[in-house]
Amino acid sequence: YPIHESHSHLSSLSVDAQSLQKQIDELSSFSDTPAPSVTRVLYTEKDVLARRFIKNLMGLSGLSVREDAVGNIFGRWEGSNPELSAVATGSHIDAIPYSGKYDGVVGVLGAIEAINVLTRSGFKPKRSLEVIMFTSEEPTRFGISCLGRFGSAPGHIPYHRFYSGNCRVVLWFFFCSFNIFEIFFTLPPSPFMLILSCFQDFSTVINDAGLAAAELALAVERHVLESGSIDTVGTVGILELHPGAINSIPSKSHLEIDTRDIDEERRNTVIEKIHQSAISIARKRRVTLSEFKIVNRDPPALSEKSILDAMVASSKELNLTHKLMISRAYHDSLFMARISPMGMIFIPCYKGYSHKPEEYSSTQDISNGVKVLALTLAKLSLQ
Ligand code: HGY
Ligand code: MN
Ligand code: MN
């Protein structure tokens, strides 16, 4: 689109990188664990304070703020054609235990800064623009991710035209060492599933439910590797033993397993193998597999070409390099894609780390991401 012809001022988008970095640093202090780690679980006191911080910034940026039943926060910049569906962008600010300060946060604070960038440039949106802070993208409080989707039933939100999620690189295999700016566009946010598996010793002899769990953890690794693809991943992130005393043989164990793949069928094969292993390990160790529950098993989603096109055009106009990529992470985009065209922008980060205190993106990369986001929002707003 000839945005440059009609809005030539947009070619000089200026990001207030220093303020943005300061906000990222400040938000990281709303945490229940010591810096540099961040822990911010949904509706803890720190999360409530962080939400207030976000709402305040939205207000300062001139957005009108509203909140829905599950706590998604929306900041709206009314366009000249408010009856058209809006263009929305956003991410989350909750943080899993002992994670870092960028995951999600950059997608929320960066989006608010993108609005500031457009305001400063004199841009006037046609479609309304919205910044969304999605509630509990992480599964920490209720064991399930992306609670925001329950706030408004899909199909009833006509205004979500576009959701550009995390300005973050969340997947760990790639992009560890790019030092030029690259934007990564997602194709399918990955299908993801979580399995709950519990073993219990119901016998009178001493059978170790903990060893059954240990064996299953190794089986998860084996089944994932057997797929032969680097796109198949899995981990046992939670393993609890009961009663949890050094001098007591565990009578119960509880595992939570996350397996992912960009290929849904291959992922399902891994799940089936894990299930079979759980059954045979229980038999062999004479413990009962008391529960094997698939918590969620979502299909992948596709980004929309028109959104990708706007992102690609924006990065080109800004003289930034980019690359199309697949997101392996579980994002609200997975659900937004069911009700509206969707695309995601990723920026480089240190070693591809996420969900650990070491996660880091440079102010420069963040600021480039904000520019691409701002220009993309502007283009889509005029469409
Ligand atoms: O787990 C994920 O993919 C993301 O952090 N929700
Ligand atoms: Mn995360
Ligand atoms: Mn995230």
Domain boundary among 283, 298, 313: 298
Q: Are residues 110 and 138 in the same domain?
A: yes
Please tell me the distance from the alpha carbon of residue 332 to that of residue 327, in angstroms, as a whole number. 12
**C-alpha of residue 246 to centroid of ligand 2, in Å:** 33
| Boundary (domain end) residue, out of 298, 317, 347 | 298
Q: Is 368 in the pocket of ligand 1 (CB under 6 A)?
A: no
Residue 368, domain CATH:
3.40.630.10
Beta carbons within 10 angstroms of residue 106's beta carbon: 24
Return the pLDDT at 334.
86
CATH no. for residue 278?
Answer: 3.30.70.360
Q: Beta-strand (E) ranges in the chain?
A: 38-40, 64-67, 73-77, 87-91, 95-99, 129-133, 184-185, 192-200, 233-242, 252-260, 288-298, 323-324, 345-346
By alpha-carbon position, which residue is closest to atom 4 of ligand 1? 330
One domain for residues 57 and 9: yes
Query: Averaged over 258-282, what is the pLDDT?
Result: 91
Report the residue among 93, 101, 103, 138 best suited for mutation to probe ligand 1: largest number of ligand atoms under 8 A from its CB. Answer: 138
pLDDT at 125: 96
Which whole number is the average pLDDT over 29-48?
97
CA of 330 relative to ligand 1 center, distance in Å: 5
Q: Is the beta carbon of 330 within 6 A of some atom in ligand 1?
A: yes
What domain range includes position 218? 192-298
Do 327 and 262 lie in one domain? The reply is no
What pLDDT sits at residue 177? Answer: 20
What's the pLDDT tens digit per position in 46-104? 999 999 999 999 999 999 999 988 889 999 999 999 999 899 999 999 999 999 999 99
What value does the mean pLDDT take over residues 268-294?
90
Contact 285, 271 (CB under 8 A): no
Q: Final residue of a domain: which of 298, 313, 348?
A: 298
Q: In sequence order, what E strands does 114-164 have?
A: 129-133
Q: How many domains does the chain have?
A: 2
Report ipTM for this prediction. 0.96
| 331 and 185 housed in the same domain | yes
Report the predicted TM-score, pTM, of the whole model to 2 decimal places: 0.84
165/236 same-domain check: no
